[in-house]
Structure 1
Amino acid sequence: MSGELGLFSVSDLYENKVRRGEIDADHGQRELAHRFDGLLDEISEQRLSRKTSSLGWLFAKHRPQNDPVKGLYVWGEVGRGKTMIMDLFYDIAPVKRKGRFHFHEFMRDIHARIKQARADIAAGKIKGDDPIKPVADMLSQELRLLCFDEFSVSDIADAMLLGRLFSRLFADGVVVVATSNVEPGELYKDGLNRQLFMPFIDLLGQYCDVVRLASRTDFRLEKLGGAPVYLYPLTDEKRNQFETIWQKLIEAPCAPSDAVSYQGRSIHVPQAYMGAARFAFEDLCARPLAASDYLRLCEIYHTFFVENIPHFGRNNRNEAKRFILFIDTLYDNHVRLVLSAVAKAAELNSNLNGTEAFEFDRTVSRLIEMQSDEYLDACSSL
C-alpha cells in the first residue's frame, strides 16, 4: 500500500543503499526492511480509516478505529543494522507527530517532566496527585509514533516508571518502535525488585511484535575498514586520522552529547551515536569516576573513542589508576577501543613504579591485544 500512496518503502530505500554501494546486501536486513514495510502499511491504513471521506469509510471496514497498530521491538547483536533500518522507516513514516530518541535521552526528558509535574501539583496547577498521568497525556498529544534507539533498562528509577508510563501511551494509541541489544525478557536482568518490572515486559509483547535481526556480521566493525585503532604520536596527521575514523563510523561530522544516569549522578558523554561514544582522556580519567561507572558506560556503548592519552608518572598518578581501571573494564567486557596517544603503549609509563608500574604493565599488554584482529572479531561476535 505504501507505493500506492506515493511513498517509498523501507525495502526500496534499503535496496537503493545497496545499489549505491553504501552497504552490502544482507538477508537478515532485507527481512527486517519487509517487516517495517508491513508496519508502514498498517499505519497508512489506520490514517485512511480515520478520514471522513469515502476512502476513509472504505478502509474503516477493514480496520476498526479502536484497533491499535502494533509497533516493533527489534533486537540483536550490536552493529547489525537495526538502527539504520529503523531510521529508514522513521524518515518516511506518514505520521506528522513523530519522534526519534536515544532511549536514555528520552528518559532524561521524562524525569524532568515528572519533576515539573510534581511541582505543578504542589502549586495547585495540576489536579490530583499522580505526576505520570499528565506527562503521559502530554506525550500522547505530542507524538503518535515513538522510535527508540538502544533500548535498555538498568536504572531502578526507570524500571519502576516504564510500566505506568507506557500503559497510558499504548492505551492512547501511540505506536512504539525500539531497537535493543537484548530480547525483552532480558531487560533489567538481575535488577533490584525486577518482579515489579515484569508487567512492562508483558506490555511490550502485547503492543509490539518482537523481531530478532540475525545479520551475518557487525557492520560497524566493517566501517572501521581495517583502520588502526591505536594512533600515535599526537601529530596533526594522527589527529586528523582519528577524526576521519570517527566520522566514518557515525556517518556525520559530529554527534550529540549524552548523559548517563547512574546511582543518582550523571556521567557526561561529549559525543555519542548508535552505541559509539567519544571522549577526551580528561573526560574519563581526570574526573572522579570508578570502575562501576566505567562498567555502566560499557553496558550502553559498544565502541569507545578516546583521544589524547598522555604519558603517566607521579604528576598524574590518580589519572593513571583510573586509566588502568577503564582499560580493564573495556577488556573484560569485550568492548572496542579506538584511541590516540602521545606514544605507543609500551612507552606511556614515564615514571610509575611499584604496584602501579606492575598494574600498568598489564594495561600495556591489554592495549596491545585490543588492537588485534582476534580481539576485534571476538567483540563483533558477542
Structure 2
Amino acid sequence: MTTVPDLYRQRAEAGLLTPDAAQEDALPELERIRAALDSPPRRGLFRRAPEPPKGLYLWGGVGRGKSMLMDLFVETLTVPARRVHFHAFMQEIQSEIHRLRQQGRDDPIAPVAASVADSVRVLAFDEMQLTDIADAMIVGRLFEQLFARGCVVVTTSNRVPDDLYKDGLNRQLFLPFIDLIKERLVVHQLASDRDYRQDRLTGAQVYFTPDGPETRRAIDAIWKDLTGGQEEALTLTVKGRALELARYHNGVARTRFYDLCGRALGPADYLALADAVRVLIIEDIPRLSRRNFNEARRFVTLVDALYEARVRLIASAADTPESLYVEGPGTFEFERTASRLREMMAEGWGERT
C-alpha cells in the first residue's frame, strides 16, 4: 500500500518534484479519502455499506501543483477511478443526455448518473469551471445523483466555489450546486506563492522564427516538459458548437495557426479558449496580407482574448511580430497585435497578481 504522502516524498527524493509547503498541507486531505476508500467493508449480512468519505475541492492559482497532486492521488487508489478534465466530462454528459432524449426519455439525468456511478467510485476532475449555461442548468441534479449513488468527487479549480459561474446567465438557478459542493466536499485552498508552470518557462525562448526542424524540436521539448508527455483532446462547447483542441493536458494546449484562425471562429470561441487554458502553443503562424485577411483578422481577435486573460503564449512563426502583417487593410491596427505579442514574450508576463 502506497499512501499519498509516501508517493509525494518518493517523487521529491527522486528530484521529480520540488517540495512545497502548501502542497504538503493538502496531502492529508487526499490521504484521508484514499484511506477511507481502501478500508475493507464490514462483514455481515445486514451491515450497511459505509458512507463514502467527503470529497475534496482543491482550489488556488494557476501552476501551483493542483493537477500534479491529483495525479498522485489517483495513482494510489485501489478502487475504480476516472481522471478527466471537467469540460470533457460535461461534454460527454451532454452528448449522452441528448442521445437519451432522442430516444424519448423525458428525464435522462438519472440513467446517465447511474451509468457513471456503475463504472467508477471516484471522479477526479481537473479544472472545474462552468461557462456554458447548458452545463450550469444540469450540474446540480447530476451531482446530487452521483453523490446519492456513492461517487466520491475530487476536483481542482482556479476559483473558490462561490465564484463558479460568476455573472452567468440565470446564476440563481446554479447556486444550489455551490451549496452542494460545500456540503459534500472539503474546500481546501492551495496557497502556494510559486507558479511552477511559469518557473519552467523562466528564461526560456517562447517565440520562434523562422519555422523549421530546429524550431519544431524546441517546441516539442517545451511541450514534453509542460505536459510530461501526456495529452488528450479537449472539446469546448461554444453557443452549441464544438471547438476541439486535439492536444491538451493540464491547462496546456498545442495547436496550429490554421486550426484556430483558418476556420470560421469568432470572439466567443477565442474567449472560451482563453478561459480554458493557461498556456497555448500555436505553431506555423504564416506571413499575413490582404490575401489571407480573414485569417489575419481572426488572429488579432485571438491575441486580444489571450492577452486579456493573461494566457502564456508560445509560438512559431514565419517572421517577427512586426513583420507578420505589413501589407493589406488593417496594418495600423495590427501594430497593436505585434506590440502585444512582444509584451507576451517577456519573462514572467503571464503571472497573475
- The answer, yes or no, to whether TM exceeds 0.5 is yes
Which residue of 2 is the match for residue 218 of structure 1?
Answer: 195
- Structure 1 CA distance for aligned equivalents of residues 298 and 177 of structure 2: 37
Measure how far apart 1:50 and its partner are.
3.7
8 Å contact from structure 1 (residues 217, 380) kept in 2: no
- Structure 1 CA distance for aligned equivalents of residues 75 and 115 of structure 2: 23
Structure 1 or 2, whichever has the larger Rg, is: 1
Measure how far apart 1:9 and its partner are.
1.1
Change (3 A) 1:116 1:291: closer
Which residue of 2 is the match for residue 92 of structure 1?
Answer: 76
Alignment of 1:92-171 (within 5 A): 92-95=76-79, 97-120=80-103, 122=104, 129-171=106-148
Measure how far apart 1:225 and its partner are.
4.4
Which residue of 1 is the match for residue 332 of structure 2?
Answer: 358
Which residue of 2 is the match for residue 231 of structure 1?
Answer: 208
**Could you tell me which amino acid in structure 2 is paired with residue 349 of structure 1?**
Y
Which residue of 1 is the match for residue 16 of structure 2?
Answer: 22
1:310-356 per-residue CA deviation (whole Å, 9 max, x = no partner) reads 11112111111111111111112211100001111122124235xx1
Measure how far apart 1:115 and its partner are.
1.9
1:149-175 per-residue CA deviation (whole Å, 9 max, x = no partner) reads 111111111011111111111111111
- Structure 1 CA distance for aligned equivalents of residues 220 and 26 of structure 2: 32
Which residue of 2 is the match for residue 70 of structure 1?
Answer: 54
Change (3 A) 1:51 1:99: farther
8 Å contact from structure 1 (residues 83, 149) kept in 2: yes
8 Å contact from structure 1 (residues 153, 159) kept in 2: yes
| TM-score, normalization by structure 1 | 0.89
Q: Is 1:348–2:340 an aligned residue pair?
A: no
8 Å contact from structure 1 (residues 224, 248) kept in 2: no
CA RMSD of aligned residues (A): 1.7
1:154-205 per-residue CA deviation (whole Å, 9 max, x = no partner) reads 1111011111111111111111111111011111111111111111111111
Alignment of 1:168-179 (within 5 A): 168-179=145-156
Q: What SS does the corresponding residue of 2:180 show, helix, strand or coil?
A: helix
- Structure 2 CA distance for aligned equivalents of residues 105 and 265 of structure 1: 14
Q: What SS does the corresponding residue of 1:270 show, helix, strand or coil?
A: strand
Structure 1 runs of 4+ aligned residues shifted over 3 Å read: 49-53
8 Å contact from structure 1 (residues 107, 158) kept in 2: yes
8 Å contact from structure 2 (residues 202, 348) kept in 1: no
Q: Determine what percentage of the aligned residue pairs are the same residue.
A: 41
8 Å contact from structure 1 (residues 70, 175) kept in 2: yes
**Could you tell me which amino acid in structure 2 is paired with residue 77 of structure 1?**
G
Q: Is 1:39–2:55 an aligned residue pair?
A: no
Aligned residues: 353
For structure 1, list consecutive stretches of 5 or more residues without a partner in the other structure: 1-6
**Could you tell me which amino acid in structure 1 is paired with residue 319 of structure 2?**
A
**Could you tell me which amino acid in structure 1 is paired with residue 242 of structure 2?**
S
**Could you tell me which amino acid in structure 2 is paired with residue 380 of structure 1?**
E
8 Å contact from structure 2 (residues 310, 352) kept in 1: no
Q: Is 1:247–2:224 an aligned residue pair?
A: yes
Measure how far apart 1:52 and its partner are.
4.7
8 Å contact from structure 2 (residues 57, 188) kept in 1: yes
**Could you tell me which amino acid in structure 2 is paired with residue 381 of structure 1?**
R
Which residue of 1 is the match for residue 291 of structure 2?
Answer: 315
Q: 1:82 aligns with which of 52, 55, 66?
A: 66
Q: 1:293 aligns with which of 269, 272, 286?
A: 269
1:97-148 per-residue CA deviation (whole Å, 9 max, x = no partner) reads 221111111111111221222233x2xxx7xx32111111222211111110
- Structure 2 CA distance for aligned equivalents of residues 116 and 349 of structure 1: 46
| TM-score, normalization by structure 2 | 0.96
- Structure 1 CA distance for aligned equivalents of residues 44 and 92 of structure 2: 36
- Structure 1 CA distance for aligned equivalents of residues 57 and 109 of structure 2: 23
Q: What SS does the corresponding residue of 2:11 show, helix, strand or coil?
A: helix
Q: What SS does the corresponding residue of 2:52 show, helix, strand or coil?
A: coil
- Structure 2 CA distance for aligned equivalents of residues 10 and 221 of structure 1: 25
Which residue of 2 is the match for residue 372 of structure 1?
Answer: 346
- Structure 2 CA distance for aligned equivalents of residues 115 and 325 of structure 1: 32
- Structure 1 CA distance for aligned equivalents of residues 42 and 245 of structure 2: 43
Measure how far apart 1:51 and its partner are.
4.1
- Structure 2 CA distance for aligned equivalents of residues 141 and 85 of structure 1: 25
8 Å contact from structure 2 (residues 37, 52) kept in 1: no
For structure 2, list consecutive stretches of 5 or more residues without a partner in the other structure: none
Which residue of 2 is the match for residue 4 of structure 1?
Answer: none
